[in-house]
Amino acid sequence: MNVCIVGTGYVGLVSAACFAEMGNDVVCVDVNPEIVETLRAGKVHIFEPGLEELVRRNVAEGRLSFTSSLAEGLKNALFAFITVGTPSRPDGSCDLCYVDAVASEIGQTMTSYKIVVDKSTVPVGTADRVRGIIQKELDARGDSLEFDVVSNPEFLKEGDAVTDFMKPDRVIVGTENVRTAELLRALYSPFARSREKLLVMKTRSAEMTKYAANCMLATKISFINEMAGICERVGADVGEVRLGIGSDHRIGYHFIYPGMGYGGSCFPKDVKALIDTARDNDFEPRLIAAVDEVNNRQKIVLADKIKDYFADQGGVAGKTLALWGIAFKANTDDIREAPALELIRVLTSEGMRVRAFDPVAGERARQALQDNELVELVEEQYETLTGASALAVVTDWNQFRNPDFERIRDALQAPLLFDGRNLYSPELMAQSGFAYFSIGRVSVT
Q: CB of 119: closest distance to ligand NAD in angstroms?
A: 6
- Judge whether 272 is annotated as a binding position: no
Choose among ligand NAD, ligand UGA, none what residue 217 binds, the Cβ cut-off being 5 to 8 Å by kind.
Answer: ligand UGA
217 binds ligand UGA (CB under 6 A): yes
Here's the x/- map for ligand UGA, 74-113, by CB under 6 A: it reads as ----------------------------------------
255 binds ligand UGA (CB under 6 A): yes
- List residues with catalytic annotation: 266
158 binds ligand UGA (CB under 6 A): yes
Exactly one of 15, 58, 65, 121 binds ligand NAD (CB under 6 A); which one?
A: 121
How many chain residues interact with ligand NAD (CB under 6 A)? 27
SS3 string of the chain?
CEEEEECCCHHHHHHHHHHHHCCCEEEEECCCHHHHHHHHCCCCCCCCCCHHHHHHHHHHCCCEEEECCHHHHHCCCCEEEECCCCCECCCCCECCHHHHHHHHHHHHHCCCCEEEEECCCCCCCHHHHHHHHHHHHHHHHCCCCCEEEEECCCCCCCCCHHHHHHCCCCEEEECCCHHHHHHHHHHHCCCCCCHHHEEEECHHHHHHHHHHHHHHHHHHHHHHHHHHHHHHHHCCCHHHHHHHHHCCCCCCCCCCCCCCCCCCCCHHHHHHHHHHHHHHCCCCCHHHHHHHHHHHHHCCHHHHHHHHHHHHHCCCCCCEEEEECCCCCCCCCCCCCCHHHHHHHHHHHCCCEEEEECCCCHHHHHHHCCCCCCEEECCCHHHHHCCCCEEEECCCCHHHCCCCHHHHHHHCCCCEEEECCCCCCHHHHHHCCCEEECCCCCCEC
85 binds ligand NAD (CB under 6 A): yes
- Judge whether 285 is annotated as a binding position: no
257 binds ligand UGA (CB under 6 A): yes
Q: CB of 201: closest distance to ligand NAD in angstroms?
A: 18
86 binds ligand NAD (CB under 6 A): yes
Q: CB of 385: closest distance to ligand NAD in angstroms?
A: 32
223 binds ligand UGA (CB under 6 A): no
Return the residue nearest ligand NAD (CB atom). 9
Sites for ligand UGA among residues 109-148 (CB under 6 A): 121
Q: CB of 429: closest distance to ligand NAD in angstroms?
A: 33
Residues that bind ligand NAD (CB under 6 A): 6-12, 29-32, 35, 83-86, 98, 101-102, 120-121, 154, 156-158, 265-266
- In the annotated binding site, the residues are 30, 86, 121, 155-158, 210, 255-259, 263, 269, 329, 336
Residues that bind ligand UGA (CB under 6 A): 121, 154-158, 214, 217, 221, 255-257, 259, 262-264, 266-267, 328-329
